[in-house]
Amino acid sequence: MKFFIVLFAFICVASAAIFQHQLHKVESTRKRLTKAGKWPAYMKYKNFLRQQAKDQVLASVSQNVNDYDDLEYLGNITIGTPGQQFVVVLDTGSSNLWIPDVTCGQGGSSDCPSYCSDADFCQFLCDPSCCSSEKSAKSNCDGKNKFDSSKSSTYVKNGQSWTIQYGSGDANGFLGQDTVTFLGSKGNLAIPKTTFGQAQQISSDFANDPTDGILGLAFTSLAVDGVTPPIILANQQGLLDKPLFTVYLQHDGAVNGKIGGVFTYGAIDSTNCGPVIAYQPLSSATYWQFKMNTIALGSATFSTGWDVISDTGTSLLAAPSSIADSIASAAGATYNDEYQSYLVSCTAKVSDMILTIGSNKYTIPGSKLVDDVGIGNGQCMFGVFGMDIGMGLSFILGDPFIESYCNIFDFGNNRIGFAQSK
């Protein structure tokens, strides 16, 4: 996730079974709070929340690699007949589709944790109804588009409960089934009988961003309750030319509110991407997970071999903490406790990063690892952060990698391909 949010205009091209999203940049929670000088405090509160969550038992699958403060890929969809419109995160790091239900947050929160009495904690960690200065607010669902099943002629009740714990918060509710439609100016992709989550509660993390919900693009095996992700279901119903989608992110220079890239469903994007360099088999068809042999930047080289994932929901590159420290040092970046990130001079000439995947080397220009997020004093965010993920994973390859190489997510053959971005 970069420090922008991206909104999609959905268009159909070439064939009735090939669809594209054009991406538009919008400011993210991280950049907004950084500009306002509130990001360090926000990180402190989030760490407190994560510590609290360790003691909770969730009847669900945990998807802790996801943190949506930097979310940037949003798509317009409708659910039901007639369609009710929602703006959702398009996320290759998760598998479920959920949006707020009409009952989401009704009556606010009547059970406020004790730490909500602290005004600073309350603004980030608690339902607004728990905060004395926010008495007029209804809930974390306030301001979101909400699904009303009574207004859809194609809705089928399921009722099974679900809970998902992400790295940045959680959501829970019940399941339903209806037609999910990806909207486009020239055509729509309607996917009948899609099972989706109707959220009755969402955490304050989701309340802080302008999205309604999340549309996961990973595999069924990762999905909570084994729900089939919409794009997998579309392929099963014969709605796509090929069982794959391509992600192209525009190179540095995309302007806030302007087109920033393209998602292409059912085909390889030959307009924005060069020939496929290679395909890499997935080591696990859960996340988009595969093997990486080496990583190098300047004097720092590591060649242990790891399981990594490609994730459109991550703006940076996540690495094991010890490796991240060495890479940051080689780039001239230092860790800042206040921002909980590596900072580097905005004028630094950072060396290119070289990744070896299979028998091929992939270069991430050093310029893509220096991001001005509004810290000031000539300081920029370095594009690598330490994260000891667990679950057999070591690295997350986010936007700096996907901007450099189009990613072809081939779920029909359980592989991922890479092509030079044009």
Q: Which tens digits make up the pLDDT trace of 95-128?
A: 999 999 999 988 544 455 545 655 655 665 566 6
Range in 55-64, 345-354, 356-365, 408-417 with the lowest mean pLDDT:
55-64
3-state class of 87 per DSSP? strand
Query: What is the model's pLDDT at position 289?
Result: 95
Alpha-carbon distance 84 to 219, whole Å? 26
pLDDT exceeds 60 at position 49: no
pLDDT exceeds 60 at position 137: no
**Which of the residues 101, 205, 311, 371 is marked catalytic?**
311
Phi then psi for residue 132, to 5 deg, are: -60, -30
Residue 348 or residue 29, greater confidence: 348
Class of residue 54 by CB neighbours under 10 A (exposed 0-12, middle 13-18, buried 19+) = exposed
For the CA atoms of the chain, what is the radius of gyration?
Answer: 21
Mean pLDDT of the chain: 82
Residue 79 or residue 41, greater confidence: 79
**Sign of the torsion formed by the C-alpha atoms of 32, 33, 39 and 43:** negative
Mean pLDDT of 52-76: 48
Question: From its phi and psi, is residue 141 left (phi > 0), alpha (psi between -120 and 50) or beta?
Answer: alpha
Query: What is the model's pLDDT at position 294?
Result: 98
Residue 58 or residue 53, greater confidence: 53
pLDDT exceeds 70 at position 392: no
How far is residue 299 from each of residues 244, 292, 302, 331, measured CA to CA in Å? 37, 19, 10, 9
Q: Which domains does the chain have, with CATH numbers?
A: 4-236 (2.40.70.10), 272-421 (2.40.70.10)
Alpha-carbon distance 100 to 171, whole Å? 9
pLDDT exceeds 90 at position 369: yes
Query: What is the model's pLDDT at position 299?
Result: 96
What percent of the chain is modeled with pLDDT above 90? Answer: 53
Alpha-carbon distance 67 to 165, whole Å? 10
DSSP 131-200: SGGGTT---TTTTS--B-GGG-TT-EEEEEEEEEEETTEEEEEEEEEEEEEE--SS--EEEEEEEEEEEE
Q: Which residue type does 34 have?
A: T
Examine the residue annotation and report whether 101 is marked as an active-site residue of this protein: no
Alpha-carbon distance 103 to 417, whole Å? 42
Query: What is the model's pLDDT at position 80?
Result: 98
**Which of the residues 69, 91, 127, 399 is marked catalytic?**
91
Query: What is the model's pLDDT at position 113?
Result: 52
What's the N-to-C CA distance of the chain in angstroms?
21
Range in 123-127, 178-182, 204-208, 241-245 with the lowest mean pLDDT:
123-127
3-state class of 130 per DSSP? helix
Residue 172 or residue 170, greater confidence: 172
Examine the residue annotation and report whether 311 is marked as an active-site residue of this protein: yes
Range in 28-32, 86-90, 162-166, 183-187 with the lowest mean pLDDT:
183-187
Phi then psi for residue 292, to 5 deg, are: -120, 135
The model's confidence at residue 13, banded by pLDDT at 50, 70 and 90, is: very low
